[in-house]
Amino acid sequence: MREDLAELQRKAEAELNSAGSEEELLAIRTKYLGRKGLLTLLFRKIGNAAPDERPLLGRLSNEIKEALSVKIENALEKLAPQGKYGALLQEKIDVTLPGRGVRHGRIHPISQVSQEICEVFLRLGFSVAKGPEVELDYYNFEALNIPKDHPARDMQDTFYVEDNIVLRTHTSPVQIRIMEKQRPPVRIVSPGKVYRHDSDVSHTPMFHQIEGLWVDKGITFSDLKGVLTYFLQQVFGEDTVLRFRPSFFPFTEPSAEIDIQCIICGGTGCRVCGQSGWLEILGAGMVDPEVFKTVGYDPEEISGFAFGLGVERIAMLKYSISDIRLFYENDRRFLEQF
Minimum distance, C-beta of residue 321 to ligand DAH, in the bound complex (Å):
21
Provide DSSP, 142-210.
GGGT--TT-GGGGGS-PPEEETTEEE-SSSTHHHHHHHHH-PSPEEEEEEEEEE-S--BTTB-SEEEEE
Nearest partner of 263 among 316, 200, 210, 327, judged by Cα: 316
- Kindly state the number of chain residues that form the binding site for ligand DAH, as judged by CB under 6 A: 11
In the complex, least distance from residue 246 CB atom to ligand DAH, rounded to whole angstroms: 12
Q: Give the shortest CB-265-to-ligand DAH separation in angstroms.
A: 25
Candidates 61, 140, 145, 252: give the one binding ligand DAH (CB under 6 A): 252
Considering beta carbons, is residue 198 or 298 the nearer one to ligand DAH?
198
Taking CB under 6 A as the binding criterion, the range among 199-207, 219-227, 278-286, 288-296 that sits at the site for ligand DAH is: 278-286
Q: Which of residues 121-180 bind ligand DAH (CB under 6 A)?
A: 170, 172
Under 8 Å between Cβ of 138 and 101: no
- Encoded one letter per residue, x for contact with ligand DAH by CB under 6 A and - for no contact, window 279-318 reads ----xxx--------------------xxx----------
Three-state DSSP class for residue 119:
helix
Q: What is the secondary structure of 215-251 as a DSSP string?
A: EETT--HHHHHHHHHHHHHHHH-TT--EEEEEEEETT
Distance in Å, CB of 102 to ligand DAH, minimum: 40
Give yes or no for residue 249 binding ligand DAH (CB under 6 A).
yes
167 or 284: CB nearest ligand DAH: 284
Q: What x/- string results for residues 188 through 227 when contact with ligand DAH is judged by CB under 6 A?
A: -----------------------x----------------
3-state secondary structure of 136: strand
**Residue 109 Cβ, how far from ligand DAH at the closest point, in Å?**
21
**Smallest distance, ligand DAH to C-beta of residue 175, A:** 7
First-to-last CA distance in the chain?
77
Distance (Å, whole) CA 313 – CA 113: 10
Q: Which of residues 22-61 bind ligand DAH (CB under 6 A)?
A: none
Query: Dihedral through CA 12, CA 17, CA 20, CA 25, nearest 10?
Result: 30
Q: Which helix (H) or strand (E) holds 278?
A: strand 278-287
> What is d(CA 258, CA 5) in angstroms, rounded to the nearest whole number?
97
Interaction between residue 231 and ligand DAH (CB under 6 A): no
CB of 203 to ligand DAH, least distance (A): 12
